[in-house]
Amino acid sequence: MEADFVIVGAGSAGCAMAYRLGEAGASVLVIEHGGTDAGPFIQMPAALSYPMNMKRYDWGFMSEAEPHLDGRKLVVPRGKVIGGSSSINGMVYVRGHAMDYDHWRDSGADGWSYADVLPYFRRMETWHDGGHGGDSYWRGKDGPLHVSRGPRENPLFDAFVQAGKQAGYETTDDYNGQKQEGFGPMEQTVHGGRRWSAANAYLRPALKRENVEITRAFAQRVVIEEGRAVGVEVKRGGKTEVIRARREVILAASSINSPKLLMLSGIGPAAHLAEHGIEVIADRPGVGGNLQDHLEVYMQMAASQPITLYKHWNLLSKAVIGAQWLFFKKGMGASNQFESAAFIRSKAGVAYPDIQYHFLPIAVRYDGQAAAEGHGFQAHVGPMRSKSRGRVSLRSGNSEDDPKILFNYMSHEDDWEEWRRCIRLTREIFGQEAFKPYVKHEIQPGAEVQSDADIDAFVREHAESAYHPCGTCKMGSVNDTDAVVDAQGRVIGVEGLRVADSSIFPRITNGNLNAPSIMVGEKIADHVLGKDPLAASNDVPWIHPQWETEQR
């Protein structure tokens, strides 16, 4: 088997690349270890807690014992299925803040400023405002990725936005438009009532072309001959074989598996590779380093009225919702239920939001366990730009072994201060007039958790990953020893090999990572094809005029 381009991973970026490279007439072969995404668990938006916890769809990674979180091992779900993590995620669509990308540029990723990436965000999406207002000038009209909004029928969605306004914060009609900062509607990758994953948006249309195909196999390493990547060694049906690439090999295997594959192929920190008996082809100390993620907690309130989704937390109701979705793709099943959001700054002097809220009108755990105390609602919240950095490293030289993942969460002292502010600011929002008719009491953390030490203990015990790992094959300038790829995604020190997924982010973006990961696939496809990038935009994003002196 061979093709012009061999892409490892049919995830958010890989599917977008397959579509764009195939559209240009090149032959493309995508290698994916996971199987089909058919069936209601993946396609029905409201069922989102299921696929994330199913061995069939998830790589099943765990972190190492996290030293600053009481030694807990956290789950690290990554999609092992067509569509990758876009098939098992919460479907929340956030581009990130303009200043995130300006920071990428300033840290050595030339051509990745907000002005450079905005045209790609526009190209990739078809935006449906659902008649709810918003910022159509900033949005895409005819891209493969459909982005919509939930109906926001539950009164709690509006109460959340009103409470933010009463607390003195901005509102925004479209956090993916000119103005991210503020409270407003949340967006989802849902179309026609179905999860609009990268598989539905990009891969299925791409596979209709004769020059694009997918094979189910387990990638073991990149084959490099005389300093050039020429193919990928895979295990398929119990046999080891090499799939050859005439032009390039592109790793889009996630921020966990892309660095693992590079290291197994001899690209990474020389001493670490030698330790596992791997011949060093390129000594790149940055491979696997710079690991970042978002941590979050669920701030939960007990509700004084039976208006939350808890009323559907029974078999009969779930069956009705399921049937309604199955036959009509409508009703509660057609939304991920994250329909209001907010981005705020934690203090004066922070130039752009560093706290994100997902609001949910039920009190429940992400793994779908136990609705806490019956009727309730919650905000998933956490700081956006932790200074802590972790690492993905090899457990052994055997490709079958999961890598070691140590996020090293909360290892920077500033993280603790950010978290305390985060919890206190959230309580203040839930304490506003707009919530008075609905709040009975605080379930979690609980009213008794007040001092810095109490809050720290709560975070140590309850913070969970928001499942946004990134940064492990950092993009930067060629003379940056920590950079793994250059500004076109080319692996430094090897010919014919690129990485295109969330692992190349120099720094984590503000919000969920599916949208920026797809954008990376879109933009690097143009670099691979040797096209001129889309013309930079001159649009100026909104920054709070008093950010230096005011928190809101």
Give the pLDDT band of residue 131 (cuts 50, 70, 90): low
Average pLDDT of every residue of the chain: 96
Q: What local confidence, expressed as pLDDT, does residue 230 receive? A: 98
**Closest by CA position to 182, among listed 355, 428, 30:** 355
Q: What local confidence, expressed as pLDDT, does residue 39 receive? A: 87
**C-alpha 477, offset from chain centre:** 24
Which residue spans within 323-402 are E strands per DSSP? 340-344, 355-360, 376-383, 391-393
Q: Take residue 162 and report the two structure tokens written for it.
A: 């009103």
Could you list the residues known to form a binding site, using ranges: 81, 89-92
3-state helix, strand, coil in the chain (%, to 5): 30, 25, 45
Give the pLDDT band of residue 371 (cuts 50, 70, 90): low
Residues in the chain: 552
Q: What local confidence, expressed as pLDDT, does residue 370 receive? A: 57
Q: CA 75 to CA 117: how far, in whole Å?
A: 31
Q: What local confidence, expressed as pLDDT, does residue 436 receive? A: 98
Give the pLDDT band of residue 366 (cuts 50, 70, 90): low
Q: 1-118+188-288+470-536 maps to which CATH number?
A: 3.50.50.60
Known catalytic residues?
A: 468
Q: CA 12 to CA 34: how far, in whole Å?
A: 14
Percent of the chain with pLDDT over 90: 91
Q: Is the model's pLDDT at 374 over the cut of 60?
A: yes
Q: Is the model's pLDDT at 6 over the cut of 70?
A: yes
The arithmetic mean of pLDDT across residues 135-148, rounded, is 94
pLDDT in tens, 15-35: 999 999 999 999 999 999 999
DSSP notation for 173-185:
S-TTTT--SEEEE
Give the pLDDT band of residue 372 (cuts 50, 70, 90): low
Q: Take residue 321 and report the two structure tokens written for it.
A: 């919702």
The arithmetic mean of pLDDT across residues 41-53, rounded, is 90
For β-strands 295-303 and 376-383, DSSP reports them as: antiparallel
pLDDT in tens, 304-360: 999 998 888 888 888 999 999 989 999 999 999 999 999 999 999 999 999 999 999
The arithmetic mean of pLDDT across residues 45-54, rounded, is 89
Q: Answer for the pair 316, 404: CB distance below 8 angstroms, yes or no.
A: no
Give the pLDDT band of residue 53 (cuts 50, 70, 90): confident
Q: Is the model's pLDDT at 409 over the cut of 80?
A: yes
pLDDT in tens, 83-108: 999 999 999 999 999 999 999 999 99
Alpha carbons within 13 A on the beta-carbon side of 149: 22
Percent of the chain with pLDDT over 70: 98
Q: Is the model's pLDDT at 132 over the cut of 70?
A: no
**Closest by CA position to 438, among listed 497, 488, 363:** 363
Q: Is the model's pLDDT at 12 over the cut of 60?
A: yes
pLDDT in tens, 263-285: 999 999 999 999 999 999 999 99
Long-range contacts of residues 413-420, Cβ cutoff 8 Å, at least 24 apart: 414/387, 415/383, 415/386, 415/387, 415/388, 416/452, 416/456, 416/459, 418/346, 418/354, 418/383, 418/386, 419/382, 419/383, 419/455, 419/456, 419/459, 419/463, 420/452, 420/455, 420/456
Q: 151-185+295-383+411-462 maps to which CATH number?
A: 3.30.410.40
Kindly list the domain boundaries of the chain, sorted by start residue: 1-118+188-288+470-536, 151-185+295-383+411-462
The arithmetic mean of pLDDT across residues 534-538, rounded, is 97
Classify 310 as helix, strand or coil. Answer: helix
Q: Take residue 453 and report the two structure tokens written for it.
A: 């030490």
Q: What local confidence, expressed as pLDDT, does residue 300 receive? A: 95
Count CB neighbours of 323 within 10 A: 12
pLDDT in tens, 432-472: 999 999 999 999 999 999 999 999 999 999 999 999 999 99
DSSP notation for 67-122:
TTTTTBPPEE--B-BTTGGGGTS--B-----HHHHHHHHHTT-TT-SHHHHHHHHH
